[in-house]
Amino acid sequence: MFDFIGYAAAFAVTLGILVAFHEFGHFWVARRCGVKVITYSVGFGKAIWSRTGKDGTEYQLGVIPLGGYVRMLDERVDAVAEHERHLSFNAQSVYKRFAIVAAGPIANFVLAVAVLWLMFGIGVPTVKPIIGEVAADSIASRANLQRGDEIVQVGNIEAYDWQQVQLGLMSAIGNEDVTLVVRSRNGNERMQTLDLSDWQFDPETESTFGSLGIDVYQPHVYTELAEVMDDSPAAEAGLQQGDVIETVNGEAVTNWQQLTEVIRQSPGQMLALGISRNGNRQQISALVGEQEGASGVIGYLGIMPKTEALPEGYVFNHQYGIVGGLVKGAQQTWDLMVISVQMIGKLLTGDVSVKNLAGPLSIAEGAGVSAGNGFVYFLSFLALLSVNLGIINLLPLPVLDGGHLAFFMVEWVRGKPVSEKVQDVCYRIGAALVFALMVLAISNDIVRYAF
C-alpha cells in the first residue's frame, strides 16, 4: 500500500515537472513572438487550482496529471477582435509558429541538460563496470572477455558505470556486432568485438550485459578466516586467524555462503570443522552460539572471512565542477537523444519488440524506485524521461508537436498552408495511432504486473 502511494506521488511529481517545462517552452516563446496566451495548464480536465495573472493568462493545474497544454489566441477557434488579430497564433509567420511549437521539445532537452548538470555537480556514487564471472560458452566468453576487465567504452558510448554499459548495448540491439574498449588488470586497453548475430535478450528477465554472459564484479570471499572475534564461540573452540575451513561435519566446504548457511541453521549445536592451519589439517569441534534474527533464533560463530581486494578506485563519486558538469550533462543528453531515436527506429524495424513499450505503471514504478534510491538517481531518471518526451513529441504525427512542424515545413515549401480538410484527416489518423500506442503500452503494463 505504501509502495503504491509512494510510486503514485513520485509519478505525479515526475510528470508534473516534465509537462510544466514542456508547456513553458511553448508559453515562453509564444509570448516572445507576440502571441496572446489564454491558458497555461499542467494537467487536463477540471482545474483543481487556477489563477489569472496580470498578463491576462489563466494558470491552472488540471485534475488529470497526464499532460498539459498552452491555449493561445487563434482565429480558427476564437472570435478575435480586429485590434487583437495580430496577437493570434495563426496570424504569425510560419517561422514564428515553427519556433513556438518546437520550443516544447527543446525545453525538455534543456531540462535534461540542467538536471544532469545538477546530478554531476552533486556527484553520483557508483562503481566501475568491471567484469565479474563470465559464463562459459557465452557471447562474452567467445570474445575473450576476462574476469577483472573494465569496460571503458561500448560503441560510441563512454562507459564509466554499468548504466552507461546498458545504454551502449541497448543501442546495439539489432546490430551484427558491437565493439568494446576494455582495460585489463595491468592497465592495458584493447578492443574486443562481440558477435551479436545470435544474441537473445529478454528485458523482462535479464540485463543486457547479463544476457551476454557478463556478471557484475564481486570480490571473491574465501573460506580463510580474516578475524576471529574475542569471546566468541569460534574463539572458545580454538579457531584462529588464517585458518582455512575445509569441511563441516565431514562435508566439503566450497564457498563461504555454504558455511554461513550451515552455521545459521545450527544454533546450540556442535559442529565438526575440518581446518587447515599453516598447511596442517586438523579437526576442531565448535559449539554454535545463539542469537535473535529476523526469522527467529539463528546460529553464529563470530568469524569473518578473507575477501579479495577491490580494484583501485572501484567505488567512486562521479562528480564534475561547474563547467565540466555542464559539458558532461550536454554530452549525456545528446547520447540519450541518439539512443532514443535508435530505439524508435528499431521498434519500427522489429529489432526491438513492442513488448518493451512502457506505460504509466512502469513509469510510476521507475520514478518511485529511483526516488527511493536517492535524489541523484531520481535526477537521472527524470533526465531520461525528459529526453524521451522531447523525442516522442517530435515524431511527425499530427496530434504531436512533430506533426505541426511537418505541416509548417510543407507550408514553407508550398508558400501556403496545408488545407484544413487535409489537416483534419491527418489529425484523425494521428490520434488513432497515438491512441493505439497508448493502449499497447498500458496492455504491456497489465501483462507485466498482473501475470
HEC-encoded secondary structure of 360-384: HHHHHHHHHHHHHHCHHHHHHHHHH
Determine the Cα–Cα distance for residues 131 and 216; give it in Å rounded to an integer: 5
Cα 3 to Cα 8, 9, 156, 374, 378, distances in angstroms: 8, 10, 37, 15, 16
Q: Which residue has the higher pLDDT, 91 or 439?
A: 91
**pLDDT averaged over the chain?**
85
Looking at residue 372, its pLDDT comes to 63
Answer whether 333's CB lies under 8 Å from 116's CB: yes
Question: Which of 1, 57, 56, 5 lies closest to 368 in space, CA to CA?
Answer: 5
Residue whose entry in the numeric block shows the C-alpha cell 588464517: 242
pLDDT at residue 37, as a whole number:
93
Least confidently predicted of 88-102, 150-164, 309-323, 344-358:
344-358
Backbone angles phi, psi at 446, to 5 degrees: -65, -45
Distance (Å, whole) CA 27 – CA 34: 11
According to DSSP, the residues that pair with 284 across neighbouring strands are 273
The tens digit of pLDDT for each residue in 166-215 reads: 888 888 888 889 999 999 988 899 999 999 888 887 766 777 888 899 99
Which is the CATH superfamily of the domain at 125-219+308-318?
A: PDZ domain (2.30.42.10)
SS3 state at 166: helix
Q: Flag whether pLDDT at 95 surpasses 90.
A: yes
| Dist. CA 12–CA 31, nearest whole Å | 27
- Place 425 in a pLDDT band, splitting at 50, 70 and 90: confident
Positions of CATH 2.30.42.10 in the chain: 125-219+308-318, 221-307
End-to-end Cα distance, the chain: 19
Residue 281: the pLDDT is 92
Q: Could you report the per-residue pLDDT of 122-174, keeping only the tens digit for each? A: 998 888 999 998 999 899 999 999 999 999 999 888 888 888 888 888 888 88
- Positions annotated as catalytic residues are 23
Other Cβ atoms less than 10 A from the Cβ of 54: the count is 5
Phi then psi for 42, rounded to 5 degrees?
-105, 110
Beta strands in 32-134 (DSSP E): 37-52, 58-72, 124-127, 131-134
Q: Does pLDDT of 444 surpass 70?
A: no
Residues 195, 139 contacting (CB under 8 angstroms) = yes
Q: What is the pLDDT of residue 424?
A: 82
For 229, the 3-state DSSP assignment is coil
- What confidence tens digit (pLDDT) does each residue in 251-276 have? 999 899 999 999 999 999 999 999 99
Q: CATH fold of 221-307, please?
A: Pdz3 Domain (2.30.42)
Residues 283-330: pLDDT tens digits?
Answer: 999 999 988 877 788 998 999 999 988 888 888 888 899 999 999 999
**Beta pairing partners, 42:** 61, 68
Q: Cell 570474445 identifies what position? A: 143
Long-range contacts of 172-180 (CB under 8 A, 24+ apart): 172/196, 173/199, 173/201, 173/346, 173/351, 173/352, 174/346, 174/349, 174/351, 174/352, 178/154, 179/155, 180/143, 180/145, 180/151, 180/152, 180/153, 180/154
pLDDT at 2 exceeding the cut of 50: no
Q: How much is the pLDDT for 369?
A: 58
Of residues 350 and 134, which shows the higher confidence score?
A: 134
Provide the pLDDT for residue 3.
58
Query: What is the per-residue pLDDT for 309?
Result: 85
Mean pLDDT (whole number) for 416-433: 82
Q: What percentage of the chain reaches a pLDDT higher than 70?
A: 90
Kindly tell me if the per-residue pLDDT of 1 is higher than 50: no
Tell me which of 1 and 143 has the higher pLDDT: 143
Residue with cell 568469524: 303
In terms of Cα–Cα distance, which of 375, 418, 216 is closest to 311?
216
Q: How far apart are CA 372 and CA 378, in angstroms?
A: 8
Query: Which one-letter amino acid corresponds to residue 39?
Result: T
